[in-house]
Amino acid sequence: MKFSAVVLYFSCLIALVFGQATTTPAPLNAGVAITNPVLNSTAYAGSNYTITWSILDPNATTIEAISLMNGNAAALTLVFPNILTNGSIPVSDLQYNWTIPANLTTREDYVLTMRGNNSYVTYSSYFSIVNNNATSANATTQQ
């Protein structure tokens, strides 16, 4: 009787182990990691800036939008909904060259977001944009 119970126990254990799903869950990001801007880096209004990323998900094919936001992480404010000028871009490009608008307000709490073809979003680290030509009358944050 003990032998039968032991055999049954190990049979159930083997079935449990082999019955586990081995699929990788879908990423909860755009399939990329933003590598530039990095935390506390500085960019300048009116200048060219290279945004870079690495690929996390081999199924990611395009970046559908890159948005500029600012503010507290719990309640980011949208500054530009999409800085891409010609539609989506291939993830395999690994970079995008952006001309930062010359009229942005100097702030230390800007964030870029990338929306991938999987509809998820990846966030950059906080970075600064400095407007060396700004005065309180002519530097505005675009909405």
Task: Let me know how long the chain is.
Answer: 143
Mean pLDDT over all residues of the chain?
86
**What is the reported pLDDT for 101?**
98
Does residue 90 fall inside a structural domain?
yes
Does residue 24 fall inside a structural domain?
no
Q: How many domains does the chain have?
A: 1
Does residue 99 fall inside a structural domain?
yes
**What is the reported pLDDT for 133?**
86
At 16-49, the pLDDT tens digits run 555 555 566 666 999 999 999 999 999 999 999 9
If residue 12 lies in a helix (H) or strand (E), which one and from where to where?
Answer: helix 2-18
| Residue range of the domain that includes 112 | 32-131
Number of H helices, E strands in the chain: 1, 10
Does residue 116 fall inside a structural domain?
yes
Average pLDDT over residues 120-140: 80
DSSP, collapsed to helix, strand or coil, labels residue 18 as: helix
CATH of the domain at 80: 2.60.40
Does residue 57 fall inside a structural domain?
yes
Confidence check: pLDDT of 58 > 90: yes
At 75-124, the pLDDT tens digits run 999 999 999 999 999 999 999 999 999 999 999 999 999 999 999 999 99
**What is the reported pLDDT for 139?**
42
CA separation for the pair 83, 97 (Å, rounded): 10
